Amino acid sequence: MVVSPTYPVQLIQPDGRRVHNPEYAALVADIDPECLRTMYRDLVVVRRLDAEATALQRQGELGLWAPLTGQEAAQVGSAHALERDDYIFTSYREHGVAWCRGVDPADMTRMWRGCAHSGWDPATVNMTNPAIVVGSQGLHATGYAMGAKLDGADIATVAYFGDGATSQGDVSEALGFAVSWGVGVVFFCQNNHWAISAPTHLQTPVPIAQRAAGFGMPAVQVDGNDVLAVLAVTRRAARHARDGAGPFFVEALTYRMGPHTTSDDPTRYRTDADLDEWRARDPIERVRKLLDRENLADDTFFAEVKDAADAAAARLRGGTLDLPDPEPLSMFDHVYTTAHPLLERERADYANYLASFVSTEEAGR
């Protein structure tokens, strides 16, 4: 089923009022005030982590960072819909999903600082590290889901990617393979309207969800700035996958408020008017207005949330600055699980190269 692109699934309006949608409201009927407050806290913490990492990059402490500001609801809502046994394959922007899965903020910047090949052990949180090759994680997720199906595991495998990745062959191959073999992948597209500087309408004349339907899988559009709607839609998609019904496609309509990465200048391809339109749909303010409207939170709660966000940001900053510089030869340590003669020759060559610098320095003293 494809929901009309004119009316993506929505449960909270930008002014905090609830939307009457019996079908999807039923999927989040268990979300009580405490759960709403928890999701609000996660939204605020995730934005604060993103701001801190961006500041670290601007200060020369990170080589690069891919900001997520504006996309918090798409990530927090979907992450809250998943079970611990579900397995997540990410792109390079899912810092909010990582936070919700329990990744230590001190580990989020290890790769971006150039101190390690990865940030965390995927096995501890059932979530991969950032994938820089655009769209490759779709194939990885599909392969993992096929293995899970052969093992009889009732799990959902989730592949996160952006609208730009849907123009990559890897994603098309993953969609086709997943349908052909009936594997339980949730393809979660965060359509933030910009593939670096290319707007979505240059990539496709139809909604991305309709592209997925063309492969023969159910697809739904959701207001990606509505954390409750994203939670409901992702719950439906994940249940579909766990039940053995095959893949499911979710298109979360959201907006990247910052640059594509910290090496990008978005002022060269979009206007302040574009930003103003989406600032009015801010995912965090939407939940705050709901909490205020329904008297579910007070000033003490909001102060506690700010303190929690600041503490998480301090953990990220402290962990980043405390990261030791890696030994140069350590880059060869985990390329293969067993010894490989070609790699060992490369290690030896690089060791000699490094030694030549030491000899040159000593000769010059």
Q: Which of 37, 236, 256, 286 is catalytic?
A: 256
Q: Which of 193, 236, 242, 260 is catalytic?
A: 260
Q: What CA–CA distance (Å, rounded) separates 252 from 231?
A: 11
Active site (annotated) includes residue 256: yes
Q: Smallest Cα–Cα separation from 79: which of 95, 103, 101?
A: 101
Q: Which of 18, 117, 239, 269 is catalytic?
A: 269
**Phi–psi pair at 246, nearest 5 degrees:** 100, -170
Active site (annotated) includes residue 211: no
Strand, coil or helix: 166 = helix
Question: Taking a C-beta distance cutoff of 8 angstroms, is the pair 36, 290 a contact?
Answer: yes
Active site (annotated) includes residue 255: no
Q: What CA–CA distance (Å, rounded) separates 9 from 11?
A: 7
Residue ranges in the chain assigned as alpha helix (H): 22-25, 33-58, 72-80, 95-101, 122-125, 136-151, 169-181, 208-214, 227-242, 272-279, 283-293, 299-321, 341-363
CA angle at residue 304 from 302 to 306, to 5 degrees? Answer: 70
For residue 290, what are the contacts with CB-CB under 8 A and spacing of at least 6?
12, 16, 17, 18, 36, 296
| 349 token code pair | 């060559």
> Hey, which residues are catalytic here?
256, 260, 269
